[in-house]
Amino acid sequence: MRKIVIGVMGPGERATINDLQNAYKLGELIAQQGWILLTGGRNIGVMDAANKGAKSLDGLTLGILPSSKEDGISEAVDIAIFTDMGNARNNINVLSSNVVIACGMGAGTASEIALALKENKPVILLTDDKESKNFFKKLSPENVYIVESALDAIATVQEYLA
């Protein structure tokens, strides 16, 4: 009965418009596949956009919050896990995702990618940032997948799960 959980990680405050569009699209596509969307659960940036995309197509959304309280949680989160662990919850995000999709880049996102790679989880990078691609691809050539669009990201997840 175990459900497939796909994590979408990305910047909060510093997300670009492109990141937000990709995140919304990823949320839609994940919902369409019948997968559960996992994010960091906050009402900002990539987290919020991905959750809204998933809910627009009746997906189920799981938010792993850094706090213990309702404040700052995305309205599009169905199930909230309150960790009260700050950024240490990033490790739970990646451990609980079958595949991690990084949408955009920032310090928090970088920590999630690195923690995922430490656990040999597959990570799909959807970013324009050249230094990110070079760094993570060198860090773990076998587990990092570089893609150019949300559609490519989902196709890569499908291949991996198959």
Residue 127 within binding range of its own copies, rule CB under 8 A: no
Taking CB under 8 A as the criterion, the residue among 16, 44, 80, 152 binding its own copies is: 80
Q: To the nearest whole angstrom, how small is the minimum distance from the Cβ of residue 148 to its own copies?
A: 20
Residue 86 within binding range of its own copies, rule CB under 8 A: yes
Distance CA 144, CA 140 (A): 6
Residue 148 within binding range of its own copies, rule CB under 8 A: no
Taking CB under 8 A as the criterion, the residue among 118, 128, 151, 161 binding its own copies is: 118
Q: Give the residues across from 145 on adjacent strands.
A: 124
Taking CB under 8 A as the criterion, the residue among 95, 151, 158, 161 binding its own copies is: 95
Taking CB under 8 A as the criterion, the residue among 17, 71, 138, 142 binding its own copies is: 138
Taking CB under 8 A as the criterion, the residue among 18, 32, 56, 87 binding its own copies is: 87
Taking CB under 8 A as the criterion, the residue among 75, 142, 148, 159 binding its own copies is: 75
Sequence letter at residue 113: I
Token code pair at residue 78:
């169905």
Q: To the nearest whole angstrom, how small is the minimum distance from the Cβ of residue 151 to its own copies?
A: 26
Closer residue to its own copies, CB minimum distance, 85 or 155: 85
Give the 3-state secondary structure of residue 120. Answer: coil
Q: To the nearest whole angstrom, how small is the minimum distance from the Cβ of residue 79 to its own copies?
A: 6
Selection from 83, 92, 86, 154 nearest residue 121 by Cα: 92
Provide the binding-site residues for its own copies, judged by CB under 8 A: 1-3, 5, 36, 55, 61-62, 64, 68, 75-92, 95-96, 105-108, 110-111, 114-115, 117-119, 129, 131-132, 134-135, 138-140
